[in-house]
Amino acid sequence: MHKIILKKPAKRFLKKLDKYEQKRIINKLKELKQNPQLGKPLIGKLSGLWSLRVGKYRALYQILENELIILILNIGHRKKIYDNIL
C-alpha cells in the first residue's frame, strides 16, 4: 500500500472547502492508496503526473513507485487546476 503526502498548496485548498467536500476528497485519496492508477495519466508538459477526479475538483499527483509514495501536488477546481502547475 502507498503512503499519501499532501504538499502545502493541496492542504491549503482542502482547508478552504466545506466539510462535505473535504470528506469526499479525502475518501477518494484513501482509495488512491490501494490503487495509485485510479486517476488519469496526464500528457504533454504534465507528463508523469496524474489527475484524480472528485466531482468538480481535481487532485494532481505524482506516483513515486520506489518509495511507495503518492505525492499530492495540488487540489483545485477543474477549470483552474492546470493553469499554474508548472
Kindly state whether residue 68 falls inside one of the protein's structural domains: yes
Q: How many domains does the chain have?
A: 1
Cα separation, 14 vs 33, in Å, equals 18
CATH number of the domain bearing residue 33: 3.30.2310.20
State pLDDT tens for residues 29-80.
Answer: 999 999 999 999 999 999 999 999 999 999 999 999 899 999 999 999 999 8
The model's pTM is 0.91
Helix pair 8-16, 19-34: axis angle to 10 deg: 140
Question: Among positive and negative, which fits the CA dihedral 51, 67, 65, 30?
Answer: negative
Range of the domain at 65: 3-77
Is 82 a member of any domain? no
- Decide if 60 contacts 26 (C-beta within 8 A): no
